[in-house]
Structure 1
Amino acid sequence: MTFQTTRPVVLLVESRRATFTDSALSRDDVTVVLLRFDSVELSPHYVQRTSHVPTFTLETAAPLEDEAARYLRWTADAGIRPQFFCNPNEALQADAQRFAALVGLPHLGREQVGWVRNKMSMKDRYAELGIPHPAYRPVDTLRDVEAFAADHGWPVVLKPVDSDSCIATYRIGSTEGLAAVPPLDPALEWMVEEFIDGREFQLCAVVARGQVVDAYLSKNPRPILEVLDGAINANITYAPGERLPVDARALAQQLTDGLGIPHGYLHGEFFLTEGGEFFMSEVAARLSGCEVPMNHGLAYGFDFLGVVLDTYLDRVPVPEYTKNRAVGDLLLPIRPGRLVRISTGDELRRLPGVIGVHLTATRGDLLDPPRASHAATGYVHVEGATADEGGEPQ
């Protein structure tokens, strides 16, 4: 099949989270070509509804250089050649960016990928840039964790170097607490860092040609790591008119400059202690998880995902804001077992402040959620005049 288009063409890496993909596909001023990794599990419904979209399926068992050559032949035969590249898939960051380099598309370099994906390289870079961050150390065994705690005190946080969503991440409060931690998977690189007792915030920014277009700040009612133990799982975007606890735009530009981010979406997390100390946690060059991007769009009243995609097309968007409110997403609780009762969408919409509902589970489902911060039976969007009005745990 041959495709003809005069619009800009972007090669978009698929992800299980299809919100951004759907937004891109709804545009009438850009042509989307999907890059599908055969290792990514996609729902049959999604595959069916995107069957009309030109898609190159990459075979992950084959050498990436061979797949790049096959892709170039495929685009030549199809008569369509993407000029732009966008990867919202965190787990595929290294392979996706290297593939883009092999086929001549804009991409992050190997060092940049390390800074935004490998938590050790990331914090090494923070040290070079003078950005405050928790103390950290690579570890191979739980005995190494104990040695780190002897130097820095309990509690500590143990995590894989390249994970996300708090997967395989543990807060350990004492030597005795090490006994509850599963043996470290030798196939993964591990690190330990000091625990920061403070409020957690999420920083998102839109970057065009190396400059921050704007930055958006969210707060977490409880730190994300505590969600794994049952704490409220929510992200609340500050209203545009609110006073922020940090200069979000200046911080985003410092990170953009230091990490060499050319365009797209920059996402980071940081902590502020009760005494006002700042500690940068982690950063990524892709959309943040859960519904944080949608919170920003709803709070400010604009097409946030459309603005993000524009930057990958080498455009410099000028967002037009039409709202001044705080909006948060509350992830609905989940636990293993047969689901026998769940609130309906109508019931949830009647609750004060709820402006949107999305349920992913129904009565009768057998649930086996992962130990991850994104695990949920759905979410609701809640509005308020300020982020504090979004509510605090009682």
Structure 2
Amino acid sequence: MARRALILLEGSRYNGPLYVQAAPRLDLHPITLSADPAQYDYLAAEGIEAIRVDTNNLDALIRECSRLSATFDIAGITCAGDPFYATVGKLCQYFDLPGPDPISIERCCDKFTQRQLLAEAGVPIPAYRLAAGAAEVESAAAELGLPVILKPTVGAGSRGVRLCRDLDELAEHTSYLLGGQHILGSPPRILVEEFARGPYYSVEIMGNEVLGIAAADSGPPPHFVFRECTFPAVLTDDVHERIAEVCLRCLGGLSLGWGPMNVELRWTKQGPVVIEVNPRLAGTPIPQLVQAADGVDLITEHIKLAIGEKWDLGKKQSNTATARFLVPERDGTLDWIGGDSRAAAVPGIAEVKLYVEPKTPIVRKGDLRDWIGYVIAAAPSFAETEVILQRAVDLIDWSITPFST
């Protein structure tokens, strides 16, 4: 009998390790298809089979999966992030496997198209304009009124997202996005958005069910680098219901409803305003927070759905889990970092993760790549969680020597 395999398209520094660790627990052999498997350190560390293939070439992926099917029983195909999630949908359709609708995913991943569909569905969103050049950006900002948010029409993890408070910042970030410096290589299409003010929430959805709502705080503007995230958020029943209702409207407007999804929004004076809908599981550390709080392993449940099995979203416990992100205060060379082992030993700490090692160059980019690690604590109440978290974070320290000029 052929061994059952789970095909993972590309990987991720964040959720990627969780998928390859969860697969064997479901008696699945994980195989990663990647244009450059070496970019994912955890594949070698975990001894995961990886195959080099052009992941931008659907025909090449079909050929590789067909070749693998001669040896393995391919139980499912999925991925840890959204850049290749539409391709996952196309592969699932070709091989008659459960998966997301690729057309809906592609429309959702274009932030301009997403805005149009949400507006048509009556979902509250920030006022926005599409711009293809510096003059159009300036004109749109004048129409909307400063400050505005500038972001590329494709991308994730707050890459390329910035609050522009005056004309100088507007010109600087426009030049950055249009000048080929944006790492995702997105086309020169920019969204200029009204700045929605208010607390930020991340809503975790599986299928058509709102699993829970997380609250997060970011660092000082102009960037949006999260510093702390708590699940579940402390909300009144009325606020929770209004947020859930808006999120379900998003799914209808975007023709989503299969698998995991994540809705980012802010609670403004007018109520919930949707910032973005992500047609996939939220990134680290949301899955870890949900597991520490509710005992639900979102990664495992997503894989179950991808292989045609029934998932279980029932809560096993009732804690509050909070993650504190470790963010450097300056650019330079990391001389040393330590205390993580002592922090992990603090009662109530669920996880301590460091992304960097000594002698690593630190160059802050104003997005999630600025994180050098995180600490997660869980306890029956938010107040207890915060005390535990602070006790652990205080044990971690590092030193950075600024780059010489």
Alignment deviations for residues 249-291 of structure 1 (CA, whole Å, 9 cap, x no partner): 5444333333333432111100111x24221111112221230
Q: Which residue of 1 aligns with 2:39?
A: 42
Q: Which residue of 1 aligns with 2:403?
A: none
Deviates more, 1:167-176 or 1:316-325: 316-325
> Does residue 1:221 correspond to 2:213, yes or no?
no
Post-superposition shift, 1:301?
2.3
Shift in alpha-carbon separation, 1:347–1:255, aligned structure 2, 3 A:
same
Q: Which residue of 2 aligns with 1:285?
A: 279
Post-superposition shift, 1:172?
0.6
> Does residue 1:253 correspond to 2:248, yes or no?
yes
* 8 Å contact kept, 1:269–1:280: yes
Alignment deviations for residues 98-153 of structure 1 (CA, whole Å, 9 cap, x no partner): 34444444443443023331111111110121111011111112321221122221
For residue 22 of structure 2, the aligned residue among 17, 24, 45 is: 24
Alignment deviations for residues 302-338 of structure 1 (CA, whole Å, 9 cap, x no partner): 3332223222233332334232221111110124212
> Does residue 1:176 correspond to 2:165, yes or no?
no
For residue 146 of structure 1, the aligned residue among 138, 141, 150 is: 138
Q: Report the residue type matching 1:203 in the other structure.
A: V
* 8 Å contact kept, 1:300–1:322: yes
Post-superposition shift, 1:75?
2.8
Q: Which residue of 2 aligns with 1:135?
A: 127
Q: Which residue of 1 aligns with 2:70?
A: 77
Q: Report the residue type matching 1:59 in the other structure.
A: D
Partners in 2 of 1:272 and 1:92 — Cα distance? Answer: 30
For residue 334 of structure 2, the aligned residue among 332, 339, 350 is: 339
Deviates more, 1:337-346 or 1:127-136: 337-346
Percent of paired sites with the same residue:
17
Post-superposition shift, 1:242?
7.4
Post-superposition shift, 1:350?
6.8
* 8 Å contact kept, 2:161–2:223: no
Q: Which structure 2 segments of 5+ residues have no match?
A: 181-186, 388-405
Post-superposition shift, 1:202?
0.2
Partners in 2 of 1:106 and 1:57 — Cα distance? Answer: 24
* 8 Å contact kept, 2:152–2:160: yes
* 8 Å contact kept, 2:118–2:254: no
Alignment deviations for residues 148-192 of structure 1 (CA, whole Å, 9 cap, x no partner): 122221111111111111111221112232243251147442211
Q: SS where residue 134 of structure 1 aligns?
A: coil
1:218-367, aligned counterparts within 5 Å?
218-222=214-218, 226=221, 228=223, 233-238=227-232, 243=237, 245-247=239-241, 249-273=244-268, 275-334=269-328, 335-349=330-344, 354-367=349-362
Query: TM-score, normalising length from structure 1?
Result: 0.83
Q: Report the residue type matching 1:15 in the other structure.
A: G
- What is the alpha-carbon root mean square deviation over aligned residues? 3.1
Post-superposition shift, 1:220?
0.9
Partners in 1 of 2:350 and 2:238 — Cα distance? Answer: 24
* 8 Å contact kept, 1:234–1:330: yes
Partners in 1 of 2:346 and 2:236 — Cα distance? Answer: 24
* 8 Å contact kept, 2:153–2:190: yes
* 8 Å contact kept, 2:53–2:60: no
* 8 Å contact kept, 2:150–2:163: yes
For residue 106 of structure 2, the aligned residue among 102, 109, 114 is: 114
Q: Which structure 1 segments of 5+ residues have no match?
A: none
* 8 Å contact kept, 2:10–2:84: no
Partners in 1 of 2:348 and 2:222 — Cα distance? Answer: 22
Shift in alpha-carbon separation, 1:70–1:292, aligned structure 2, 3 A:
closer
Query: TM-score, normalising length from structure 2?
Result: 0.81
> Does residue 1:372 correspond to 2:367, yes or no?
yes
Alignment deviations for residues 4-44 of structure 1 (CA, whole Å, 9 cap, x no partner): 13x6x5433241232332333231x4424424121465345
* 8 Å contact kept, 1:205–1:216: yes
Q: SS where residue 74 of structure 2 aligns?
A: coil
Shift in alpha-carbon separation, 1:370–1:154, aligned structure 2, 3 A:
closer
Q: Report the residue type matching 1:233 in the other structure.
A: R
